[in-house]
């Protein structure tokens, strides 16, 4: 399975765009995850699936995987939909749900 090159999405806990400008190379797991018979936890024997490499540009990430002979798949980010609104829109008479306080 090829390595995945993508740009991470923003955290759902914030409205900021921090840590979303770079690109990440992520390697897939090459084997199934074994289950520990005593505790029932899922283990992992493959080191590559635990590695995430960060790059400043998409070209740098592609250059890295090409130098090392790794097959890759690029996932382009979806454009952000931004609807600019002002504070006064909270009290507009054309709101779907009228302001209750």
CATH number, domain 1-9+22-30+47-77: 3.30.160.190
Q: Given a cut of 80, is residue 98 above it in pLDDT? A: no
* pLDDT band of 101, cuts 50, 70, 90: low
Domain ranges of the chain: 1-9+22-30+47-77
What tens digit of pLDDT does each residue of 2-55 get? 999 999 988 778 777 877 889 999 998 877 888 888 888 888 877 777 889 999
* pLDDT band of 99, cuts 50, 70, 90: low
Q: DSSP readout, 11-58?
A: PTT-SS-TT-SSEEEEPPPSSPPPBPTTT--B----SGGG-EEEESSH
Q: How many residues does the chain have?
A: 101
Contact 49/31 with Cβ under 8 angstroms? no
């Amino acid at each position: 399975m090829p390595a995945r090159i993508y740009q991470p999405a923003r955290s759902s806990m914030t409205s900021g765009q921090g840590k979303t400008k770079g690109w990440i190379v992520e390697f897939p797991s090459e084997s199934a995850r074994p289950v520990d018979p005593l505790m029932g936890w899922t283990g992992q024997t493959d080191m590559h699936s635990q590695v995430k490499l960060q790059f400043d540009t998409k070209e740098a990430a592609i250059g890295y995987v090409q130098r090392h002979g790794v097959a890759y798949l690029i996932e382009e980010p979806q454009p952000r939909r931004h609807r600019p609104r002002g504070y006064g829109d909270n009290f507009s008479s054309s709101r779907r749900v009228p302001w209750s306080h």
